Amino acid sequence: MVIVMKPGSDKSQIEEVSKVLESLGLGVHISKGTERTIIGVIGDKRVLSNVPLELMPGVEKLVPIVESYKLASRTFKPESSIVEVNGVKIGGKQIVMMAGPCAVESREQIIEAAKAVKKCGAQFLRGGAFKPRTSPYAFQGMEEEGLKLLKEAKEETGLLIISEVTSEKAIEIADRYVDMFQIGARNAQNFHLLREIGRSRKPVLFKRGPSITIEEWLNAAEYIMSEGNYNVVLCERGIRTFETATRNTLDISAVPVVKSMSHLPIIVDPSHAVGKYQYVLPLSKAAIAAGADGLIIEVHPNPRCALSDAAQQLTPEDFRSLCRDISKIAEIVGREYEYCEQ
């Protein structure tokens, strides 16, 4: 349920309503819009059955939240959220670019990749240290050693670091190195892991599972938020369909649909969606045109030698071309992307 305050309601009225809710053991989330303040009520609403909240000074109306994903819904928070990660805002006017190799393979590889994406305006360096793979015999990542190399690349370039975590132990290790966690598609409904991420409070990029609906995705995000971590950025990365021409089918429609259903920012991962580098540029442009708040792109200094996902990783030259085009598309749709190659 949300409590909609009247336009012009003062701070003392908002605080009084909050005190009543908290005295009943309920959580409170205050969202201040341009005209109205909305108080989100978190917890068992049955304790309010005999409390005349609608009669309190400043209260305009009570609105039940019918969606099962309460905290992630736009009813709970009508204003779009902006998730800030160490000074970088995701969900604002600026398009956010996360780029780097599928996996950290060596110091030379990750430093070269970091320098290349930094030149083109990327704010985040991505790189897998814990790599859940379809085959148990495939490269599984360098784990903590890979995280140390990511931190070294950060110190050299100033880029923020995002990397996937796959277990409670991985969260504990990665927390010392990364600025933002990533939950991969394979763990989109690993509810125990999602709760642990919620308790961490660190910003998280939450990828859609390949076989779940948007509503199921938002319900999964609710597991993170229900533990108190509202710093969630959604990531559309393709879903499994009958089509075999691409690795997955990128659901571009998910961008505007999510924005209508939820206040959370959403970015797009075209690399994992299609699995072929030649399709990444057109789908990246389509994603920004559809309203995505950013992109996460796989870039490798020498994709042919990559230990994982070689076919979908861009060269630094291809990435430069992509970023030039993204800056133009962003301007057309009223956004900004600072392509800053020297």
Residue 164: strand, helix, or coil:
strand
Among 83, 34, 36, CA closest to 63 = 36
Predicted pLDDT of residue 130: 85
Show contacts of 42-49: CB within 8 Å, 24+ apart.
42/70, 42/71, 45/1, 48/1, 48/24
pLDDT tier at 42, thresholds 50, 70, 90 = confident
Give the torsion sign (CA, 77, 273, 161, 173).
positive
Phi-psi region of 238 (alpha: psi -120 to 50; beta: other; left: phi over 0): left
- CA distances to 66, 108, 219 from 70, rounded to whole Å, are 8, 45, 8
d(CA 145, CA 141): 9
d(CA 14, CA 58): 7
Q: Is 275 exposed, middle or buried (0-12, 13-18, 19+ CB in 10 A)?
A: middle
d(CA 49, CA 230): 28
Beta strands in the chain (DSSP E): 2-5, 27-32, 37-42, 59-63, 83-85, 88-90, 96-100, 124-126, 160-164, 180-183, 204-207, 232-236, 266-268, 294-298
- Amino acid identity, residue 292? A
Q: What is the mean pLDDT of residues 149-178?
A: 96
What tokens appear for 25 in the block? 């053991």
Show contacts of 248-253: CB within 8 Å, 24+ apart.
248/210, 248/272, 248/273, 248/274, 248/275, 249/273, 250/274, 250/283, 250/287, 251/208, 252/283, 252/286, 252/287, 252/290, 253/290
Identify the CATH class of 83-332: alpha beta
With a cut of 70, say whether residue 140 has pLDDT above it: no
Residue 234: strand, helix, or coil:
strand
Is the pLDDT higher at 338 or at 257?
257
With a cut of 90, say whether residue 152 has pLDDT above it: yes
Beta bridge partners of 236: 268
**pTM, to two decimals:** 0.91
Predicted pLDDT of residue 342: 52
Is the pLDDT higher at 284 or at 43?
284
- 2-63 and 83-332 in the same fold: no
Is the pLDDT higher at 263 or at 35?
263
Q: What is the mean pLDDT of residues 247-256?
A: 97
Q: Is 86 exposed, middle or buried (0-12, 13-18, 19+ CB in 10 A)?
A: exposed
Parse the chain into domains and list their residue ranges: 2-63, 83-332
Residue 40: strand, helix, or coil:
strand
* DSSP symbols for 71-87: TTBTTT--SPP-EEETT
Query: What is the CATH architecture assignment of 2-63?
Result: 2-Layer Sandwich (3.30)
136 contact partners, CB below 8 Å, separation of at least 6: none
